Structure formats: structure tokens, C-alpha cells
């Protein structure tokens, strides 16, 4: 039966790069006979302008009804001074919360043609292909007690609490182990069990789950500070890294810079499998709405296109189509085409549309 896809382009460069995904979908329809049941709607500043809210309940319902959501980005300087409930960014926060998206998947993959764009030496990152799985709805960003208190002596203290329950740890570890089975079959679990009780429990729960259900996957453990060091020293030692909210926030940003450009990086956020075996999922580039280049036709559409490839792989199990899109992207880069953000000497600078068209041309050759 036809897969239901909700498309939310959002603000800034969002709609521009989403048009290039539409080009890929047109190719899938033409060349592979694959069609989706597509709904498109407004979020962020685009929704505020028309409906007065960053996201309507109707859109949240559409997201629930869809098999997957492809998101662009939200954020518009026009609304920067609006009240906190009228910020475009609320749209993505609300979607994550309403769909219960607890696992954030951030691949850091270095395309051969871009190995020299990394902040590290090309020989350290060439062939890099890691996946960081970050828990996103628990941990220190949400734990109670929290707040700022005034003490009897008039000084104040800020409080946040790292809390993880066994089900919270188990469900995100499960995502990591399942992913590893589709990749290089290795998981590294990251915490700070040397100084944190929540880390001690994390390690214990991951170890138990592994022994019970995932003994075929190779499991290692690493302290978070060492992991930061290892990611810079020898990032290729990792396949899947699974970690909590705070460490995952830092480590995934660190890992993304190993690959060079923001315009190349996709992501996914997954929720819990429901009674019908469906898993809510949202796919988006890690970059924002890039207001500085919006409307100029310069944005790199590859992160959005690669987010769509992730969607095909993880939500629709269309492994072959996902791999074809990724290969087409690699070939376009190997041919020397570059948007300004990934420009290097001797390469041809192209805009958003030419890049999207080039991916389709490569798809036609596969
Ligand atoms: P940003 O990621 O939008 O831009 C940072 C820099 O990278 C800019 O110079 C931009 O031109 C460049 N860049 C980003 N994506 C690019 C692409 N595809 N091709 C070429 N260049 C690209 O981050 P910034 O400037 O901090 O935030 C802008 C707006 O986006 C803000 O309103 C922010 O809140 C929002 N934002 C939204 C996110 C989301 O929707 N999930 C995530 C991050 C930021
Ligand atoms: Mg971040």
C-alpha cells in the first residue's frame, strides 16, 4: 500500500532545498514506479504568517497519521523578538514532543570527494561512516528537581538533575542495536559511570539488554570524555555510538564537524513502535533555515536529499533506493560539483537547482 509522507518545508532555505527532494521523488516515480501519498503543510514562520501559530494541531495530527515526516527547517529573524510561544522554532520542538521522538540519529559520513574539507587530516577521516544515537527526551535537560533557588545567605544556586529510568535506557539502546545490525554490527555505549549513578545504571541496562537480545552485536563501553578524544584521534574506530541527551548533544556536534559541512548532514528522530508496529519518525537536515543565504538559490540541497534517503532506509525499508540516492550524491561530488558552502579550489560552483538536477542525472545512470 502507498506510504504516507508528510512534507514540512518550513522557513528560509527549507522550501528551496525541499524542491530538490521533489525532483528526486519525480525520478522515483518515473524511473522506478514508486509513488507516495504526500501531504504538505506550513510550519514555523511560514505558519505564523498565515495562521498566527508556529504549528497547528491539524499538522500534528497529519504527522501522527503519516508513515514518516520530512522536515526542512524553521526559524526566521522576522520573529526573533516574538514571545516564546510565537517563535518559529516551537514547531519542531512541539513535533518532537507530541510524537514522542526519543532517539536522534546523527550520521557522520565523509564522502571521499570531500575528505579534504574536514577539519581533520584527510587520512584520519577518509571513509568515515559513524552513527550517533542520542537520547533526546530524558536526562539532565528534563530531570527534576530543576530551577534557580535563593539560599538563606542571599546567594543563589541553579539546579539540574540527570535522571534515566531503565525503560528510557532500554528503548534507546534497542534503537542502537537494531541500527548496528543494518551497519557494521558494532555499538559503543557512552556514559560517565565513573562519576554518575545515572551512568552506572545506563551501562548496566545496556549490558543486560545486550546479553539477553543482542549478543550477536559487538558491544563496547566508553567514558564520554574519552569518547570526545577518540572521535578526534581516530573516529573510524566507531560504528554506532549510543549515549544520553547531554553527551549526545556535544558528541554529535563534534562528530558533524569531522565531515566538513553543515549542508551535507542529515538526521532522523524516532519514537516508540506502537501497537500496529508503526514507529513515528521525522527526518531533517541538522542545519537551520540559513536566513543569510535564503532566496539566493545557493543553498546546498544534499543534507535534505540525504535526509530523504535516510527516511527511505529506516522508515520505508527501501534499502536499494536509499543506497542509489547516496551513490548518486557521492558521484556528483566526485564529478567536482560544489555549492558555495563546500567549495574548494578547482571545483565547479553551482546553485541549489543545478546540484539537484545533477543528482537526478546520476540516478539516471545507475
Ligand atoms: P544555520 O544552520 O541555519 O546556518 C549556519 C550557517 O551555515 C549559515 O552561514 C548558513 O548559511 C550555513 N548553512 C546552513 N545550511 C546550509 C546549506 N544547506 N547550504 C549552505 N549553507 C548552509 O544556523 P543558524 O544561522 O544558527 O540559525 C538560523 C535559524 O535556523 C535560526 O532561526 C535557528 O533557530 C534555526 N534553526 C533551526 C533548526 C531546525 O529547524 N531544526 C536547527 C538549527 C537552527
Ligand atoms: Mg545542537
Per the DSSP assignment, residues forming a β-bridge with 190 are 222, 243
Q: CA 296, CA 305: separation in Å to the nearest integer?
A: 19
Q: Among the bound ligands, name the one nearest to the CA of residue 262.
A: 1
- ipTM, interface predicted TM-score of the complex: 0.97
Q: Supply the residue whose CA is at minimum distance from atom 27 of ligand 1.
A: 288
pLDDT in the model for residue 80: 80
Expressed in percent and rounded to 5, the helix, strand and coil fractions of the chain are: 45, 20, 35
Q: Is the CB of 338 under 6 A from ligand 1?
A: no
Q: Is 359 in the pocket of ligand 1 (CB under 6 A)?
A: no
For the question of residue 112 being annotated catalytic, the response is no
* Whether residue 253 lies in the annotated active site: yes
Helices vs strands, H then E, count in the chain: 12, 14
Q: What is the whole-number distance in angstroms between the Cα of residue 343 and the centre of ligand 1?
A: 18
- Please give the Cα distance from 59 to 25 (Å, whole number): 22
Atom nearest to 10 CA in ligand 1: 40
What pLDDT score was predicted for residue 117? Answer: 76
pLDDT at residue number 176:
98
Tell me how far the alpha carbon of residue 211 lies from the centroid of ligand 2, in angstroms. 32
- Tell me, yes or no, if 141 is annotated catalytic: yes
pLDDT at 213: 98
**CA–CA separation, 331 and 291 (whole Å):** 29
Catalytic residue (choose from 76, 192, 203, 321) = 192
307 is in an annotated binding site: no
**Domains recognised in the chain with CATH numbers:** 1-102+271-366 (3.40.718.10), 108-261 (3.40.718.10)
Higher pLDDT, 267 or 83: 267
Q: Is the CB of 303 under 6 A from ligand 1?
A: yes
- Average pLDDT across the chain, whole number: 95
The distance from CA 177 to its chain's CA centroid, rounded to whole angstroms, is 18
Whether 106 has a binding-site annotation, put simply, is yes
The residue whose C-alpha atom lies closest to atom 12 belonging to ligand 1 is 290
The answer to whether the beta carbons of residues 139 and 244 sit under 8 Å apart is: yes
Rounded mean pLDDT of 124-129? Answer: 92
- Of 55-59, 124-128, 288-292, least confident by mean pLDDT is 124-128
User: Using an 8 Å Cβ cutoff, are 20 and 78 in contact?
Assistant: no
Question: Is 192 one of the catalytic residues?
Answer: yes
The SS3 call for residue 252 is: helix
Beta carbon of 92 within 6 Å of any ligand 1 atom: yes
The whole-model pTM stands at 0.93
SS3 category, 34: coil
The answer, yes or no, to whether residue 244 has pLDDT greater than 80, is: yes
Cβ of residue 8 lying under 6 Å from some atom of ligand 1: no
- Establish whether residue 288 lines the binding site of ligand 1, counting it when its CB lies within 6 angstroms of any ligand atom: yes
Q: Is 302 in the pocket of ligand 1 (CB under 6 A)?
A: no
Provide the 8-state DSSP code for 55: S
CA–centroid distance, residue 164 to ligand 1 (Å)? 31
- Rounded Cα distance, 56 and 113, in Å: 42
pLDDT band, residue 277 (cuts 50/70/90) = confident
Tell me 241's DSSP state. E
**Closest ligand to Cα 75:** 1
Provide the edge-to-edge strand list for the sheet that holds 4-10.
Answer: 37-40, 4-10, 68-73, 281-285, 266-270, 103-109, 129-135, 240-243, 186-191, 218-223
Mean pLDDT of 54-59: 98
DSSP strands (E only) in the chain: 4-10, 37-40, 68-73, 103-109, 129-135, 147-150, 156-159, 186-191, 218-223, 240-243, 266-270, 281-285, 337-338, 348-349
Q: Determine contact, residues 134/169, Cβ cutoff 8 Å.
A: no
Q: Residue 106, Cβ neighbours under 10 Å: how many?
A: 22
**In whole angstroms, how far apart are CA 6 and each of 3, 61, 63, 67, 92?**
10, 11, 6, 8, 14
pLDDT band at residue 30 using 50, 70 and 90 as cut-offs: very high
Residue 236, annotated as binding a ligand:
no
Amino acid at each position: 500500500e502507498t506510504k504516507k509522507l508528510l512534507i514540512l518545508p518550513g522557513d528560509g532555505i527549507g522550501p528551496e532545498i525541499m524542491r530538490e527532494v521533489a525532483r528526486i521523488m519525480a525520478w522515483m516515480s518515473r524511473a522506478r514506479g514508486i509513488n507516495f501519498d504526500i501531504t504538505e503543510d506550513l510550519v514555523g514562520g511560514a505558519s505564523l504568517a498565515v495562521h498566527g501559530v508556529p504549528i497547528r494541531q491539524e499538522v500534528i495530527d497529519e504527522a501522527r497519521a503519516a508513515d514518516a515526516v520530512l522536515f526542512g527547517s524553521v526559524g526566521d529573524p522576522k520573529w526573533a523578538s516574538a514571545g516564546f510561544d510565537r517563535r518559529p522554532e516551537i514547531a519542531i520542538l512541539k513535533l518532537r514532543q507530541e510524537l514522542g521522538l526519543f532517539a536522534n540519529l546523527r550520521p557522520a559520513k565523509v564522502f571521499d570527494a570531500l575528505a579534504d574539507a574536514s577539519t581533520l587530516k584527510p587520512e584520519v577521516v577518509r571513509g568515515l561512516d559513524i552513527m550517533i544515537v542520542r537520547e533526546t527526551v530524558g536526562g539532565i535537560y528534563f530531570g527534576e528537581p530543576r530551577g534557580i533557588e535563593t539560599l538563606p545567605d542571599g546567594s543563589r544556586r541553579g539546579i539540574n538533575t540527570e535522571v534515566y529510568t531503565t525503560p528510557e535506557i532500554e528503548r534507546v539502546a534497542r534503537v542502537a542495536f537494531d541500527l548496528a545490525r543494518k551497519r557494521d554490527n558494532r555499538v559503543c555505549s557512552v556514559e560517565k559511570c565513573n562519576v554518575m549513578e545515572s551512568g552506572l545504571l545506563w551501562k548496566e541496562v545496556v549490558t543486560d539488554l545486550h546479553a539477553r537480545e543482542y549478543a550477536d552485536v559487538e558491544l563496547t563501553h566508553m567514558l564520554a570524555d574519552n569518547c570526545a578524544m577518540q572521535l578526534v584521534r581516530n573516529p573510524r574506530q566507531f560504528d554506532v555510538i549510543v549515549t544520553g541527551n547531554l553527551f549526545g548533544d556535544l558528541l554529535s556536534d563534534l562528530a558533524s564537524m569531522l565531515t566538513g559541512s553543515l549542508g551535507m548532514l542529515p538526521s532522523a528522530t524516532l519514537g516508540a513502535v506502537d501497537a500496529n508496529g508503526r514507529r513515528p519518525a521525522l527526518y531533517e537536515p541538522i542545519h537551520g533555515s540559513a536566513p543569510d543565504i535564503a532566496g539566493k538559490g545557493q543553498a546546498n540541497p544534499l543534507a535534505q536529499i540525504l535526509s530523504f534517503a535516510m527516511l527511505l532506509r529506516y522508515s520505508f525499508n527501501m534499502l536499494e533506493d536509499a543506497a542509489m540516492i547516496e551513490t548518486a550524491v557521492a558521484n556528483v561530488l566526485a564529478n567536482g560539483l560544489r555549492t558555495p558552502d563546500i567549495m574548494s579550489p578547482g571545483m565547479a560552483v553551482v546553485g541549489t537547482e543545478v546540484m539537484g538536477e545533477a543528482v537526478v542525472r546520476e540516478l539516471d545512470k545507475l
